[in-house]
Chains A and B, each alone.
Chain A
Amino acid sequence: MDATNLIATAPLPILITNTEGVITQVNAAAEAFYGCSAAALIGTNIANLAYAESRHEQERALWRVLHTEQAWEGLLDYTTHEDRPRTVRLYLSLVRDQVGAVCGVAFFISDVNEVVVFQRTLQRERDRLEAILESANDAMFMVDSDGTVVTANLQFERLFNLHRYDVLEHPLDTLVDQLRAQPNLPPDFANVLLNFGSDRSQSASYEFEISSTPRRVIRWYSEPVHTYDGVPLGRLFVFRDATHELAVDRTKTEFVSLVTHELGTPLSVIKNAIEMIQDDQASALSEDGHEYVQIIQQRVELLETLIKDIIALTRIEAGRIELRRAYHPLNVALDEAINSVRSITQARHQLLEIELADDLPLLWIDRNRIAQVFTNLLTNASKYTHDGGVLMVRAARVDHLWELPEDSPAEVRLPAVLIMVQDTGIGIAPEEQARIFQRFYRAENARQRRIQGSGLGLTIVESFVELHGGKVWLRSAPMEGSAFFFTIPIIEGK
């Protein structure tokens, strides 16, 4: 076998120099790599081929190989015909003559430029991501699918007063133990974190307080992380300081509260004065006079409903609704609602039919909230029903699933009182039925007919009913009227 031929046909560029570094032999692959003929390369010092900044290193490598008589391997930048440095992996080994004396050095060149460029791009990408994580205002850390902490940023260190290198590459348990040792964190926080360690799918958000001065509120969430094609990578935890946000929220709520507070007394006076005029048998109002009073009364009632809705909404938004429950008969709440919509239904000559079953138990309710549920449902029923139409309220006790209407949601808690508020109005299109409980949402036909409304009523109905453990749903078809159902679970003897 002819070694010279092997070198000539090798796919790797190979150059051989004498002990001075002067090229004595090259193969075809080397000619292609350098972009010049063998004649041009032979007789040139190999030093000239290295990229300026690598020249010194190559000389040292050559010197080392010659003096230690050992092979050398390393990365160098070479100048090629492209006139740009290409990174190569260089293998140097001694060449001996027939008697074994050192007569030169063989340069085996492996072009790894693509790999190196790729690695550099990756590194840059990683540095960039790290920089983003570092400059984020949120504290973050991530565990991989084995539950090992793989990323943590600067804010994470600040928030939890930890060094990330104490937790990186450690299991989540190590981090949890360190958090447990911190007295200003709530004790259950660590447990919640730990529960996520073994979970791959759940997303959730939470809030906790750090007992410091001033007190800080941290909102956090955890999300599973997947690659584009769905391979699980682990789980990300993000923590945000919501202290300021909550303070702003509180200011807003306080402002709304102040405004509505100031409106309460004048509105009360107007409303009560109207009632006195209406109830005063001796007052000699003309027919027109009665009409005028009724107009004022209707608007006052709408204003009252609107104010109540705004207050309710700010509380719902702030998550600060507390039910003031006591045992009441359902009609205590219904009565209050009927009183506040009476002028509206009367003005439109609508008939209100009430049918309450005889066996209704006392209900564990916040009567003002349930009254507001009735008021909002009845106001809607009246608004969307033509003059002279019929509104119905029915209530019955339900102990068994089979007693519920077929279209009831699955999660209704029993036993309960089932209440239906039905109208004979314009109805709601099927595609809109899911959205009408959203804040500010108004049905298309309601807007077309210019029926006034804030779009808050049903949001509040849903929220209040659910706070009582009940469910609300509807059955409706355009031009056939709507029936709203809601349940209030029966809670016996407290």
Chain B
Amino acid sequence: MSYILLAEDDRSLQFLVQRKLETEGYAVRSTMDGTEALALALNDRPALLLLDIGLPGATGFDVCRAVKQHYGTEAPPILIISTNGQESDVEAAEGVGADDYLIKPFSLRDLAERVRVFLNGAQPRQSYSM
């Protein structure tokens, strides 16, 4: 199974997200650089991309746009990680073809749930108990 590509330039956040996804059983490859993320994505066709916006080299938007153009209908799902309060980011994320977005601070459990839905095509749960 191909891997999830995570591009996040905050080292701590990158580490935490990678660990979370690994404990959920996914293979994850991380980078802090936009250019590297793009090269990997075009070369390997990851199963899913998680892209922070403010990356050195190329922004998350640039990577997203290029990957979606390159693979067309076969493009992997892409989640953009934005920061709270930047609504323009969210609009831009949709503009470059992102499938979903997360707003910092987000919950890893929520992230894992969304990834699970994208990769298994599973429906979200309908009832809750705590």
Contacts and interface: CB of A to CB of B under 8 A. Distances in A.
Interface stretch (A152-160, A330-338, A431-439): A330-338
B107 A331 contact: no
B105 A336 contact: no
A39 to B, nearest CB: 97
A307 B107 contact: no
A273 B18 CA distance: 12
A265 B85 contact: no
A268 B128 contact: no
Contact of B84 (A276, A308, A336): A308
A322 B17 CA distance: 30
Contacts of B128: 331, 334-335, 338, 354
Among B10, B106, B127, residue most surrounded by chain A Cβ atoms (within 10 Å) = B106
A304 B85 CA distance: 12
Contacts, number: 100
B84 A260 contact: yes
Given A329-B124, A329-B126, A334-B128, A261 B83 contact: yes
Contact of B109 (A269, A273, A275): A275
Contact of B124 (A256, A264, A335): A335
Interface string B31-70: 0000000000000000000000000000000000000000
B105 A267 contact: yes
B129 A265 contact: no
Interface string B1-34: 0000000001011001101100100000000000
Interface stretch (A207-215, A240-248, A339-347): A339-347
B16 A272 contact: yes
A271 B19 contact: no
A352 interface: yes
Contact of B127 (A276, A280, A351, A354): A354
A271 B105 contact: yes
Nearest to A328: B124
Interface residues of B, number: 30
A356 B103 contact: no
Interface in A37-93: none
Nearest to B19: A276
A447 B128 CA distance: 33
Interface in B79-110: 83-87, 90-91, 103-110
A145 interface: no
A279 interface: yes
10 contacts: A265-B13, A265-B104, A268-B106, A269-B13, A276-B19, A300-B105, A324-B87, A331-B126, A336-B110, A339-B109
Interface of B: 10, 12-13, 16-17, 19-20, 23, 83-87, 90-91, 103-110, 124-130
